[in-house]
Each structure stands twice: as C-alpha cells, then as structure tokens.
Structure 1
C-alpha cells in the first residue's frame, strides 16, 4: 500500500489516543523495574523514551541513551506472547451443589488489542502462533478470542542487541508487509524511528483500517525517499548483527546429529532451568493443573506454561521419555530448527536472541547450531 507519511514524535500521543477511542486496549513496551516489558500503554510517556538496553550471553541491562528515542532498544525482555497466550489461565470452573456438578468454561475478555511498537521478530512469532494455535482444524479457542480484531502498529528495529540474529532467519529487522503463510497484510501501520538529521517517524500504512486510524491525527505526506530512509535504518541494523544461523542447512544438520557428541558438551553446561523456553516468543508447551477448595465443592482447571526442559514434561507410563539434560536440549533445538519445519512448514525460531541473553550460563543457540554443522560436515568427510 503506497501511503507513506511523517509523524512527529509528539504525534505518538494522538496515535495512542486514536486507538483508545476506537475501543482498543493498547499494549506495548514500557519500563518496569530493571527491564523493558510489554504492558498497557495510555500515553507516550509510558514508552521507554531515552532508554536503551545491553544484551549479551547471560546478561541483560538497561542503559540511559543520549537521545530521546522512544524505541531505542533491541526488544523487550518478554515478547507479546503473554498478551494472547498467558502464562496461566482458567480453562473451566466446576461447582458441586446438592448432588449436581456444573461446569462453566472461562471466556477471555472481548476487548480487542492494539499492539504498539511490536518488533519484526515478535510480529513473526505471533504469525507462527496463528498457524499453530488458530489455523489448524482444532484451534485454541482462548487464543483465537484474544487474537481476534488485533490492530498492529509495528516498529522497524534500528538498535539490535549483540544477541540478535533475526536477519539470518529472515524475520527482521524490518517486518515483511505480508504474512508469508496467509498472504494477508502483516501490520496495519509500520513506524520507523529516524533520529537524524531530526527526530521523526516514517509511518507506512499497511491496511485500510490503518489508513482510517492514521487519518485521525496530524501527519505529513511523504514519498519513496522517506521510505528509503526508513529501509536504510533497518538495513544498518541488520548489518550490525554478528550472530546467525544457516537456515539452508540447519534442518538437515539436526536430522543427522541425533548421536552427536556435542549434546554431551552442551548438557554439561545447561542447567535445565527452562529460562530459554519461558522467554521464547514461539514456545507453546503447556500442562494442566487442577485445584479444588477444602470442602471439595469448587474446582478449577488451569492451563499453565510448561517446558520441554522439565523432566516431568515427558513423563509417561511410569517415567520420563527424556530423562537427562542432553536429551531435553536436543529435543528443544531440534524442534525449533528442524522438526517444527516438518510440522508447520516454517522454523520455530525468529532470531530474537532472548534465549541467549536469559540463559544463566550463556548458552548460545547460534553457536550450538554452528558447532553441530561443523561436526556433521567433518563426520561426512570422514565417511
């Protein structure tokens, strides 16, 4: 859609107000404690203006920038995943009364969400969840209810962390205009924050719904020159990324590496703490917890996030299928970068780098993938 405009920084308040006026719950990046997290946004002052982040293997820190950038950080500590797929939710409630037992299914609130400032990697993760949780014959009703009617204001990334590798995964730093699975528009509006020669946003309209919202506040019409300026910001961010995964070979590398000695090496370092899966924007494993009151008259079934790094996750017929850390790490990375593609026609990793930053011992998925590739190549040459 060839509709490009300039939005001045003070216009962010008008954009947020326009979304609220249309009944959306606006969620986006905000500072909470010592991290940037996804939370409710009521005004531009809720955004992390002037705040950047430093992310390295096993380390995450906020820092004060020397400018007033609103989106001058790599990505929030947690993605938008909990917005549509919360860490814990009630599936149903049951009550026993005078010999009868009634069950009431829990229903999410029906207020539509506007994602503000969602990064390309996290937007791609939402699209992956759409394919996994919403577009199959047996869909996740709670996810679909929360996801329905979402308005998306994406922000192209200009400040990658050292842990980012979205460029190699084809998931950023600039979001694709269309969802590669469905062909539908990927966002309603796209913002690119440009800091020089003056602070402003290049706004690109992705849908008619986005155009209607953009018409509600003051912008200046622009052309292809402004769009090229925006693309240059993302291109520079991609050029600064130093990590990557070879997506052309990793699927087959992992299929050939089931007995690789590398698994013993990584298992000697991995704590099986589940951090990587809890911050991953695409992981969707869950378990069920049933609770009741002391009288036994009221019961609830909760769905909570689980992790394939947990020994109990694969517990079946008296024991776990993956009883050691080696097997659990192998399951995780093989699913992300190989069998996920077999299941869903795409990779399950978007290159956000959170699993690297939030791993207490700094295990790096890109290095593990590269090491497995080198060992597979060497084994092939030897044979």
Structure 2
C-alpha cells in the first residue's frame, strides 16, 4: 500500500506555497481562454476549479461542472512537453563587433520546475521524452537542463474524455509508481481527488522522501488502507469508462504488414496534413532549424522549432521530398508511433491521451485507423 496521506482543500494551497518556498517554478493546469493549458501556478485558485471538458473527434470544449473539483477534466489541450521542450527556442545568438564575432548559447539556467496535476498519460510521455532526448549517447543539453531537478505531483484521472484510450496502452489512468525504463520513482507525490458524501479532499501517495517532506509541510495527515482502496477504485472506474482502445499485442506487426494497405488511400482522402496531431502529441520530438539575422548582418540567431512529419519539406532531401503525398506521411506517422518506435526505443510512442483525435479538424481517429488496418491485415492473411 505504501505511505498514504490525506490532504484537505486548504492543504492544496499550502502544497503550492511550499513548493514555491523551496525555489521551484510551479506549473500545472490552468484555464487560458477556452482551453485548459499548462501554466504558472501561484495559488490553488489558479487551478481550473469546477471546470470540466468535453472532447470528441474534432472537438474540444470546456464546461462547468456541478461540483468544485480541481482536476475534473481529462488531458489538457497541450501536455507538459513544452515546459522542457519548447516549440521555439534560441540555440545560440551571435554578434559581430568590429573585427570579431562572438557567440553565446541560448539556454540560460532557470529555476527547477515543480509540475502539479500531471496526468498519467503525460507523465509517461515525459518518461519517453527522457529516453529519447536525455538517455542516449548524444544528450539534448537544452532538454536535460530544463528537466533536471523536476518535482512531480501527479494526479490520477477520474474523468476521462471520450477520446482517451490510455487504459489500453498501459499508461493510465493511474500512473505507475516507477519509470518502467529506469525503475526510478515516477512521481514525488500522487494525488487522487475524492468528492464523496460531501467530503472533498485528496488521497496522497508518497513516491519519494522529498515528496514526504513537502506533504508534511503542507499539513497532510495519515491515511488508511481504506483510503488507498478508494483511490484505486476511482481510477479503475475511470478505466472502465474508456470506450476507445488499441490492441498493443498485435499493432506492431499489423503495421509492418500494412505498408501497401488500401487504407492509406482512404485516410489520405480525409487528412488535411495540417500537422495538428503532431503539435499536440506529447511524445513527438521532430524539429528543424531556422536562422535569422538583422539587416546589417551584425546580429544573428539560430532557433530550434518544432517540425512535423506531415510537412512536405520534412522529408526534403537531394532535390525533393521522400514522402511527397499525404498517404505516405500519415503512414509514416502512425507506423512510427505504433511500430517502428518500439524497434527504435523499446516502447510504443503513443500514450493514449487522445489529443490527436480531439484536435484533428476532420476527426481522424488513430484507434479507428489501427483497428481498420488490423481487420484488413487479418483478411489478407486468411485469403
């Protein structure tokens, strides 16, 4: 069962205050415009209290809940990825002065981040980014610097959207206590929000010694085995309500066998190649480089910006793109996510957050496409 605590509503505010007192930049879900996004948190009032969401293929809407839940929504519009891997960052900037040219690196030291309210799918996505960007021979120094010293307050998901399928991917709605790749603690604290019989509090599971210290400072009180059972029951019920899924036991081989499937023509007839799915995906890491200078040529900057495999120029090489049509680009994206990513990194590149479904303007559903390819592959093998 582990170390279980109970944190009341006032304790949530004390938790944020304690993290700020320790020098963290506290970030978590907050309402901005018509969406829930990851932003700075100064008090618990910055959280989306009483706000829920509705997510369907091609649709994202906020709604008012009939209770005061702080985390009564599914995946925010954007994951925590931009916190450590921003969409546009300066790699270096240079200046010409008289007879010499000086260059300075763009990544400045910043306060460590405390992430509050991280969903299980996004926590797993961060672990995948760690593997891709910070655990191989050549480390992304900018990412590693931002990621260092992160304090994680995860929140178990009780209200999945219609687009969620994390249960089938093994990535939620309850996060694993350890990173399956490194076997290190996945979070410092795990909160499960409980609204039952007029009571509103958080069941806290301690993940690290640092988490225990923060929980104690925030006034958390001892919990019981019954509290732990309630937390598990909340996430079990959330998993049972998910209606979408991907068969992870077969999808790798299905996609390997589907390179010439006619399904690619079908999906290409609907896909706009707008890149939305890759821009909201919490694991996509493709980038390109953009250089700029002033008119006098005295100042120059190199930026790293997000790119997408749906862009025609993404595969441009030696005079032309390797994937000139939408059919080839969609096939590349889904095959990488659900098949060749596993060959490359030893895991799938999809965490079941459902953002690519909700933010696709025409409602293309990755789970539907995977299932259709599976049916066609099975029909072909039995013919």
Instruction: Normalising by structure 1, report the TM-score.
Output: 0.99
* Alpha-carbon shift at residue 99 of structure 1 (Å): 2.5
Which stretch shows the higher mean deviation, 61-70 or 90-99?
90-99
On the 8 A contact 1:276/1:354 being kept in 2, the answer is yes
Alpha-carbon separation, structure 2, partners of 1:219 and 1:88: 39
Instruction: Normalising by structure 2, report the TM-score.
Output: 0.99
1:109 matched residue in structure 2 = 109
Alpha-carbon separation, structure 2, partners of 1:212 and 1:72: 27
1:8-27 correspondence to structure 2 within 5 Å: 8-27=8-27
1:205 matched residue in structure 2 = 206
* Alpha-carbon shift at residue 9 of structure 1 (Å): 1.4
Task: Name stretches of at least 5 consecutive residues in structure 1 with no aligned partner.
Answer: none
2:349 equivalent to 1:348: yes
1:220 matched residue in structure 2 = 221
Alpha-carbon separation, structure 2, partners of 1:279 and 1:163: 14
1:315 matched residue in structure 2 = 316
1:90 matched residue in structure 2 = 90
2:46 equivalent to 1:46: yes
Alpha-carbon separation, structure 2, partners of 1:266 and 1:246: 20
Alpha-carbon separation, structure 1, partners of 2:121 and 2:38: 14
SS in 2 for 1:264: helix
* Alpha-carbon shift at residue 190 of structure 1 (Å): 0.3
2:361 matched residue in structure 1 = 360
1:196 matched residue in structure 2 = 196
1:242 matched residue in structure 2 = 243
1:276 matched residue in structure 2 = 277
Which stretch shows the higher mean deviation, 152-161 or 192-201?
192-201
Which stretch shows the higher mean deviation, 151-160 or 108-117?
108-117
1:143 matched residue in structure 2 = 143
Alpha-carbon separation, structure 1, partners of 2:71 and 2:109: 29
**How many aligned positions are there?**
382
SS in 1 for 2:115: strand
Alpha-carbon separation, structure 2, partners of 1:91 and 1:256: 40
Alpha-carbon separation, structure 1, partners of 2:218 and 2:94: 48
Which stretch shows the higher mean deviation, 98-107 or 186-195?
98-107
Alpha-carbon separation, structure 2, partners of 1:108 and 1:218: 35
Alpha-carbon separation, structure 1, partners of 2:224 and 2:316: 58
* Alpha-carbon shift at residue 104 of structure 1 (Å): 1.1
Alpha-carbon separation, structure 2, partners of 1:90 and 1:164: 34
Alpha-carbon separation, structure 2, partners of 1:222 and 1:347: 36
2:79 matched residue in structure 1 = 79
Structure 1 ranges of 4+ moved more than 2 A: none
* Alpha-carbon shift at residue 148 of structure 1 (Å): 0.1
Q: Deviations over 1:38-87 (max 9, x none)?
A: 00000000000000000000000000000000000001100000000000
Alpha-carbon separation, structure 2, partners of 1:108 and 1:72: 35
Q: Deviations over 1:148-167 (max 9, x none)?
A: 00000000000000000000
Task: Name stretches of at least 5 consecutive residues in structure 2 with no aligned partner.
Answer: none
* Alpha-carbon shift at residue 142 of structure 1 (Å): 0.3
2:37 matched residue in structure 1 = 37
Alpha-carbon separation, structure 2, partners of 1:119 and 1:272: 28
1:123 matched residue in structure 2 = 123
* Alpha-carbon shift at residue 2 of structure 1 (Å): 1.8
1:159-174 correspondence to structure 2 within 5 Å: 159-174=159-174
* Alpha-carbon shift at residue 366 of structure 1 (Å): 0.1
SS in 2 for 1:114: strand
Cα RMSD, aligned residues only: 0.7
On the 8 A contact 1:108/1:146 being kept in 2, the answer is no
* Alpha-carbon shift at residue 110 of structure 1 (Å): 2.3
* Alpha-carbon shift at residue 286 of structure 1 (Å): 0.3
* Alpha-carbon shift at residue 108 of structure 1 (Å): 3.2
* Alpha-carbon shift at residue 204 of structure 1 (Å): 0.7
* Alpha-carbon shift at residue 233 of structure 1 (Å): 0.4
Alpha-carbon separation, structure 2, partners of 1:101 and 1:39: 37
Alpha-carbon separation, structure 2, partners of 1:97 and 1:180: 51
Alpha-carbon separation, structure 2, partners of 1:124 and 1:370: 23
On the 8 A contact 2:12/2:218 being kept in 1, the answer is no
1:246-325 correspondence to structure 2 within 5 Å: 246-325=247-326
On the 8 A contact 1:121/1:350 being kept in 2, the answer is yes
SS in 2 for 1:7: strand
